[in-house]
Amino acid sequence: MISLLANPLRFKKFARYASPIFGCAALGLIAVGVWYALYNSPEDKLHENAVRILYIHVPAALISMSAYGAMAAASLIAFVWRHPLADVLARSMALPGAAFTVLTLATGAIWGKTAWGTFWQWDGRMTSTLILLFLYIGYMQVWAIIEDKRRAARIAGLIAMVGSINLPVIKFSVDWWNSLHQGATLGGPGFETSMGMPLYLLMLGYGCFFAWLTINRVLDSIERTKQKRTKTQRGASAVMEDI
């Protein structure tokens, strides 16, 4: 599977089917999920309607973390096997991942205001999400400042891998340092299936949306390198004719 998609042309063929499938699935799942989350699910006993923002918040948090893991995995594949598309894939996942992290932080802050009466607390999970955002920004900046893209790929890959090894360490130490955040409630007592259903739908929907975004960003990136290549070739031939 991995080496099968290494070829950009083959990836394009794969994307021709995968992109609409993921796109439609994301649209459908998110639409149904949002309908369940906002209209057709019970209010929370404690927080009433405010609990509905968690349907947006929890899936975003899930995607923001797993996107970094996927980015690191793609970087590892690129680093070990010099897989040409894995670099592009890792790079394409960074910006959507960072966007989901921002969404997590923003919805988390709004939820915090209603539930705990404050937008920001230096508690374990919030702090580690903020650090995750720093990791994403650093990764994207490395791509931005190193001009030679092959070199940038190797160095950004190293940074993603070192970051992903450190992410559990950071998470553990931040949790140990200060933890107010409620533990995971999925499946715990007081958690109704009518609340779980929209949550799972939205998690899947967000996942499909993320996959759709990534595939299209990879396609865009392939297209751009192709354009750049033809442009430089044309430039060279013009110079030859002038001589």
Partner 1 sequence: MRALSGLIKRDLLLALRSGGTWAHGLVFFAVFLALCAIALGGETSVIRPLAPALIWLALVLSLLFSFEQLFAGDVEDGSLEQIRLSGLPLTHYVSGKCIVHWLLTVVPLLAALPIAGLFYNLSMATSAGLFFTILIASPALIIYGAFSGACLTGYKGGGVLLVLLTTPLLIPVLMFAIEGVLSYEKAGLGAMEFQALSGLSLIALAIGIPASAAALGATME
Roughly what angle, to the nearest 10 degrees, separates helices 124-145 and 54-81?
40
Q: Comparing C-alpha atoms, which of 123, 137, 126, 133 is closest to residue 100?
A: 133
Q: Which is nearer to partner 1, 174 or 203 (CB)?
A: 174
The rounded distance, in Å, linking the Cα atoms of 83 and 5 is 9
- Is 73 among the residues that bind partner 1 (CB under 8 A)? no
- Is 102 among the residues that bind partner 1 (CB under 8 A)? no
From 103-111, 112-120, 138-146, 223-231, span contacting partner 1 (CB under 8 A):
138-146
- Residue 243, both tokens: 């001589």
Interface residue with partner 1 among 1, 9, 169, 243 (CB under 8 A) is 169
Q: Which helix (H) or strand (E) holds 107?
A: helix 84-115
User: What b/e string do you get for 15-32 counting C-beta neighbours within 10 Å, with b at 16 or more?
Assistant: beeebeebbebbeebbeb
Q: Which is nearer to partner 1, 65 or 208 (CB)?
A: 65
Tell the smallest beta-carbon distance from residue 78 to partner 1 (Å): 12
- Is 166 among the residues that bind partner 1 (CB under 8 A)? yes
Q: Which is nearer to partner 1, 38 or 158 (CB)?
A: 158
DSSP secondary structure letters along 145-214:
H--SHHHHHHHHHHHHHHHHHHHHHHHHHHHHH---SPPP-TTSTT--HHHHHHHHHHHHHHHHHHHHHH
- Is 155 among the residues that bind partner 1 (CB under 8 A)? yes
- Is 151 among the residues that bind partner 1 (CB under 8 A)? yes
Q: Which is nearer to partner 1, 163 or 207 (CB)?
A: 163
Q: Which is nearer to partner 1, 150 or 228 (CB)?
A: 150
Token pair 């991942």 in the structure block, residue: 97
Interface residue with partner 1 among 138, 226, 227, 233 (CB under 8 A) is 138
The rounded distance, in Å, linking the Cα atoms of 17 and 15 is 5
From 43-51, 133-141, 212-220, 229-237, span contacting partner 1 (CB under 8 A):
133-141
Q: Which residues bind partner 1 (CB under 8 A)?
A: 131, 134-135, 137-138, 141-142, 145-146, 150-151, 154-155, 158-159, 161-163, 165-166, 169-170, 172-174, 176-177
